[in-house]
Amino acid sequence: MKRLHVMLQVKELDESIRFYTALFGAEPTKRKTEYAKWMLDDPRVNFSIAAHGDATGIERLGLEHLGIQAESREEMAELRERVARSGGRVADEGETTCCYAESDKAWVTDPQGVSWEAFFTHGEAETYHAPAAAGRGDACCAEPAPEAACCGPACCTDGAPAADCCAADCCAA
C-alpha cells in the first residue's frame, strides 16, 4: 500500500509538534532541532514539519485545507476529541451538506493558519451545499465562495464570517 507524504513549513517547531501530536494522537517518530516527522498508519501518511525559511503553511502553498476522513461515527468521535485537544481554533460544524455529500464535520486551525477538516461522510447529496436549515435564515455558504471550505475556518476570521462566505452562525468558535 502507498503512503501519502505531506511536508509543512512552520514558524515555531515546539508549538506545532504539540498541535500535531494532539491532532494525530501520536508522538513524532523522528524529531530533530528544526524537523519532526510522523509515520502514521491511520491515516497512512508520512507527515513532516520543518522550521526553516520564511514562508509557512498557506502562505507558501496556496493551500485551501487538509483533512482526515473518518470511516465510521466512532472514528469521527475520536477525531473530534483530538481536534479539541490540539489547542487550535476549533469550529464544530456538525451535520452538513457539502461537496455533494452528507457529512459530520469539525474544523481546527494549526499554529500557521492551516485549516484541518475532520469529517465522516455518510451519504450522497444532490447539491454542493444545503439550503438554509429551519429557523436559521440564510443558507450557510449557499453559493460557494472561491477558496471556501464550506463553513470551515477558511470562511471565518476570529469567529466572524468572511465577506460573501458564510452565515454568522457558521463561524462558531
User: CB–CB of 29/38 below 8 Å?
Assistant: yes
C-alpha cell at 170: 457558521
Q: How confident is the model over 111-119, as a mean pLDDT?
A: 89
- Check pLDDT > 70 for residue 157: no
Q: Against a cut of 0.75, is the pTM above it?
A: no
User: CB–CB of 34/84 below 8 Å?
Assistant: no
| Pairwise CA distance, residues 59 & 105, whole Å | 24
pLDDT band at residue 81 under the 50/70/90 scheme: very high
- Check pLDDT > 50 for residue 64: yes
- Please give the share of the chain, as a percent, with pLDDT higher than 70: 68
pLDDT band at residue 140 under the 50/70/90 scheme: very low
Q: How crowded is residue 88: how many other Cβ atoms within 10 Å of its Cβ? A: 21
How confident is the model at residue 173, as a pLDDT? 39
161: number of CA atoms within 13 Å, CB side?
16
